[in-house]
Amino acid sequence: MKTHAVKASEIDRAWHVVDAEGQVLGRLASEIAQILRGKHKPIFSAHLDTGDFVIVLNAAKVRVTGNKETEKLYRRHSGYPGSMKTRTLANVRATFPERIIERAVRGMLPSNALGRQMYRKLRVYPGAEHPHEAQRPQPLVISVGRPARDQGE
């Protein structure tokens, strides 16, 4: 038997639509990262981008567990002394809700040129509308983790 080496011409990319409403952020991001990498395909190769395109809808309605809404911090630093900017998840959700999922998925992709190429196949929208109907995306049901508990229990 010989090992088959995948060529770039053999890679077939599909489009998937994911509804993030009610999904837990980290579990959703890990599933999306696997699809972007192509780990769900039998032709997966670690040195090639064999993944599919992913459209994420309702990014503003993604769920987080615990106290992350107020305690999770997004930091950025320009390199100058005293220039660290810090925002909470609630603040980011109010202004740019798509960045929550984008940053979570980006952290789960490789930190090199291949990871940047994979990240470019991700499209995130805060609402339920997207402009990619021409690509005929297939709905992808990602149901990970436990369902949300009722407050009455």
Mean pLDDT of 97-112: 97
Asked whether residue 24 is assigned to any structural domain, the reply reads yes
Yes or no: say if 137 and 17 are a contact pair by the CB < 8 Å rule.
Answer: yes
Yes or no: say if 105 and 119 are a contact pair by the CB < 8 Å rule.
Answer: yes
The CATH code of the domain that includes 103 is: 3.90.1180.10
Output the pTM of the full model: 0.90
Half-sphere exposure of 49 (CA within 13 A, CB side): 18
Yes or no: say if 102 and 125 are a contact pair by the CB < 8 Å rule.
Answer: no
Asked whether residue 77 is assigned to any structural domain, the reply reads no
Asked whether residue 58 is assigned to any structural domain, the reply reads yes
Asked whether residue 129 is assigned to any structural domain, the reply reads yes
DSSP H stretches of helix in the chain: 25-37, 68-71, 89-95, 98-106, 113-119
pLDDT value of position 1 = 84
For 28, the domain range is 14-64+98-139
How far is residue 29's CA from residue 32's CA, in Å, rounded to a whole number?
Answer: 5
Asked whether residue 93 is assigned to any structural domain, the reply reads no
pLDDT value of position 4 = 83
151 pLDDT above the threshold of 70: no
Q: How many domains does the chain have?
A: 1
Percent of the chain clearing pLDDT 70 (strictly above) = 93
Asked whether residue 2 is assigned to any structural domain, the reply reads no
Asked whether residue 48 is assigned to any structural domain, the reply reads yes
Average per-residue pLDDT for the chain: 93
Q: Enter the DSSP assignment of 138.
A: E
Q: Enter the DSSP assignment of 63.
A: B
143 pLDDT above the threshold of 80: no
Asked whether residue 104 is assigned to any structural domain, the reply reads yes
Q: What is the 3-state secondary structure (H, E, C) of 3-40?
A: CCCCCHHHCCCCEEEEECCCCEHHHHHHHHHHHHHCCC
Q: What is the pLDDT of residues 18-71, one digit of tens each?
A: 999 999 999 999 999 999 999 999 999 999 999 999 999 999 999 999 999 999
Q: Predicted confidence band at 142 (pLDDT cuts at 50, 70, 90)?
A: confident
